[in-house]
Amino acid sequence: MAYPKQYRYTKEHEWVDARGDLATIGITDYAQHELGDVVFVELPKPGTKLETGKTFGTVESVKAVSEIYAPASGEVLEANAELHNTPEKLNTDPHGAAWLIKARLTNASELNGLMDAAAYEAYIADKGKEASA
């Protein structure tokens, strides 16, 4: 699956699509693949404060529990209600319809420290090599 060029990526496998201070946040295709069949998603209510690097939600597969970390500080505007009943969408469309939250960022320049698509692809390719060494 392609990693959208306009997104920014964290080492913990979240993506951010920011337009000014408005951002959509999700987990990457690599993350959903590592997790396997996603069966449960827990997301914050609108108004919840996000703090960079702090957990704001949980995604669970049959086998694993994974915390999701805020890539930047801000406030939650909307959580993706679709994922409540159809968490498996995270396995098929993690970069699109299965976004997790929309947020207003406190300081969009925080995202400058994140990876672009090319850097993220190199990062996960490295992880792949480690795993099969």
Instruction: State the nearest-atom distance from the C-beta of 96 to another protein, in Å.
Output: 17
Are 111 and 8 in contact, with CB atoms under 8 Å apart?
Answer: yes
Site membership for another protein, residue 36 (CB under 8 A) = yes
Q: Applying CB under 8 A, which of residues 18, 27, 98, 103 lies at the interface with another protein?
A: 27
- Token reading at 116: 């672009």
Asked whether position 132 contacts another protein by CB under 8 A, the answer is yes
Window 51 to 70, contacts with another protein (CB under 8 A): 58-63, 65-69
Interface stretch with another protein, choices 6-14, 46-54, 75-83, 109-117 (CB under 8 A)? 6-14
- Contact yes or no for 28/38 (Cβ under 8 A): no
Q: Residue 3 is encoded by which pair of tokens?
A: 């990693």
CA dihedral 64, 118, 83, 22 (to 10 degrees): 130
Beta partners for residue 66, in sequence order: 59
Q: Which residues bind another protein (CB under 8 A)?
A: 11-14, 27-28, 31, 33-37, 39-40, 42, 58-63, 65-69, 127, 130-133
